[in-house]
Amino acid sequence: MLKFLRKYNKIILVVGGCFLMVAFLLPTALTQGGGMQNPKVVRIGDHVVRAREYGSASAKVQLYENLNILSGFIDRKENPVQHWLMLLHAAREGGFVGGPTDGAEVLNTYLSPQDRDVIIQRIGADAAYEALAEWRGVVRMLSTYTGAGRLSEAEAQLLALELFDEAQVNVAVLRPEVVEGVSEPTEEEILAHFEKYKDVVRGQGEFGFGYRLNAAIQLRWIAVERLRLAGAVQPDPIEVRKRWQGDRTRYPGEFDAERGNVERAIRDEQVEILMREADQIIQAAAVEEERKFPLRGRSHQLPEDWRSQVRDLELIAFEVGEAVERRTGTLLAPAVQRRDVWLDTPGLSNQTIGRTQFAIGARLVPFPLIIPEVQEIGGETARGPQVGLLNRRAARDPVGNMYYFRIMAARPEGPPRSVDEVRETVVQDLKRLRAYESLKAQADALRRRALAEGVRAIADDLRAEMVGGVVTERMVASLPRELDVPEFRRAVAEAARRLDPTRSIADAPLSDRLLVIPVDGSMTVALVEIEGRRPLTREAFRDNVALIEQVAAREAVQGVSDWPYTFDALKARYGVTEFGVREEAPSGGGAGSTQDQPAS
């Protein structure tokens, strides 16, 4: 099995819910106006993609991304969902997309029985088979073009060796922090280092240095949560009995047996009423704000002192709390969260609001991906939120909680304005570099000591992390992420292959099984002891031929010039037309409407 995909199991549990999220969110997000039932989004050739199909494709793309099976196929600089839809259209047009059996085969190839059970429970067998059958159809189409589908047996065996020939290892992970007494850098060293790497993306400079800042936002939000509101609702006992007596078809049991069901139904109804009232109150506050600032094009013109002209979210939340009190007798204002720090896409993913989706036109976008759509970041092409304005459209999570947010500030991607923005990181990097150079200089001494005392003794003495795992030339499992790099994997794999697989590993000299591997990218020195080897077998090769061909296809895609499946090439081939969805009227909270003519 592919162990390098098993490590994504926790992500699969979260992302698998995206199919259910789309099914839940689309009716709400697309029916805020009277005519927005299922508007057109894009025409690809003779096929019109409507909002529900687009939302489903978006969820599938997220699933593929988190399973790490989409790399190299789509252009993330463009619209990845639209690119996927064009690839899928081409694959269907060519007859490459199979049915549920095709998807089931992919599911069985990629996941352990436990993982397969989990993903099927989360999104259903039919949805899983459909998504994976579509993915395999696109892979099959790309393989046909590149010739990867005609992979020779010798080539397949070499690739299988890289994928499945395993070494079991114990590793002492020596990070710079284990070195004591590192001196502080001088101001001249700090400034020189900053100037050299200030416009380099983190991880792409020497030793991973880089201080170019990601695009990021600061925001605050009101969280209207169903569970909190449900706690304030106490069904009236008289109403409960009347409901039971008046609907015996729905509640056929005796009163004591059905009381819980009746109370739950009444509570759910009351929560829905409270959620609607909260939405109306917050939307009215947002509309009132928008009227203060003139609208030019798609943007409202906000003055520099806009913060003094908008209401605190706590005051708006208190109005919602008063509405709850009028119906339940309990003053319960929704929580307000403030994040007045810079949050890029990964940072947003760690927030509760990061588990939501937000409607931009007819598209549902996972909230962490809205940053490029923020007008102050994306510019003229951005159709998302604007800094300063309370958003009327709620971001919604899979259980229906609503989040109304205000972006307080936005920062485009770019170098820091001064060293002071990243001074702490620069100083830490310089100290780590000195410590790492010290560790590298001790490599021979560390090896001699490990041969004499053992790897664990060194780890214990230096208070370093000691961890066991599996390594092939293509992956690591159960080891720290910084070791999942080609130089580490290759060094371990080559050493393991030199060992005789027919003999017990204990018979091999420790000197043949002990490695000291510097990893410059993460400034880590790995002290590795190979404790076992599981060589590639004929059975493993035969069982994974389909998977080997798919990996080869993905890699072949990345090596083809004049690739006919780029975003631009497909868009030109199919004469793609995008449709616009009219936003809600800025005054009065009026209904929106669809436009079935191309967006200008």
The 10s digit of each residue's pLDDT in 210-262 is 999 999 999 999 999 999 999 999 999 999 999 999 999 999 999 999 999 99
Three-state secondary structure call for residue 555: helix
Nearest to residue 232, comparing CAs of 195, 265, 284, 274? 274
What pLDDT score was predicted for residue 108? 77
What pLDDT score was predicted for residue 68? 66
Q: Could you tell me the two tokens for 134?
A: 């579509």
Residue type, 502: T
Domains of the chain: 3-160+540-598 (1.10.4030), 166-212+420-535 (no CATH), 216-411 (no CATH)
Query: If you write DSSP's letter for every residue of 319-386 in order, what string do you get?
Result: HHHHHHHHHHS---PPEEEEEEEEE-HHHHHTSGGGG-EEEETTEEEEGGG-GGGSHHHHGGG--S--
> For 53-105, what is each residue's pLDDT tens digit?
988 898 888 888 767 677 667 877 678 899 999 999 999 999 999 998 888 88
What pLDDT score was predicted for residue 35? 38
Q: Could you tell me the two tokens for 53?
A: 């199909």
Number of C-beta neighbours around residue 506 at 10 A? 9
Instruction: Please name the residues in contact with 336: beta carbons below 8 A apart, sequence gap of 6 or more.
Output: 220, 221, 222, 223, 313, 314, 317
Going 119 to 120 to 121 to 123, the CA torsion angle's sign is positive
Give me the helices (H) in 47-169, please: 51-66, 80-93, 100-110, 113-123, 125-146, 153-164
Weakly modelled stretches of the chain, pLDDT under 70: 1-37, 66, 68, 71-72, 77, 109-115, 146-151, 546, 550, 553-561, 580-600
What is the C-alpha separation between 122 and 111, in angstroms, rounded?
14
Q: Could you tell me the two tokens for 121?
A: 């429970």
What pLDDT score was predicted for residue 438? 96
Three-state secondary structure call for residue 144: helix
pTM of the full structure: 0.59
What is the C-alpha separation between 508 and 505, in angstroms, rounded?
5
Query: If you write DSSP's letter for every residue of 438-452 in order, what string do you get?
Result: HHHHTHHHHHHHHHH
What pLDDT score was predicted for residue 587? 34
Q: Could you tell me the two tokens for 393?
A: 């459209």
Nearest to residue 28, comparing CAs of 316, 502, 356? 356
What pLDDT score was predicted for residue 564? 86
What pLDDT score was predicted for residue 282? 97
Q: State the DSSP H helix or E strand holding residue 70, giving kind and residue range, or none if neither.
A: none
What is the C-alpha separation between 155 and 210, in angstroms, rounded?
38
| Contacts for 338-341: CB closer than 8 Å, 24+ residues apart | 338/220, 339/218, 339/219, 339/220, 340/218, 340/220, 340/408, 341/218
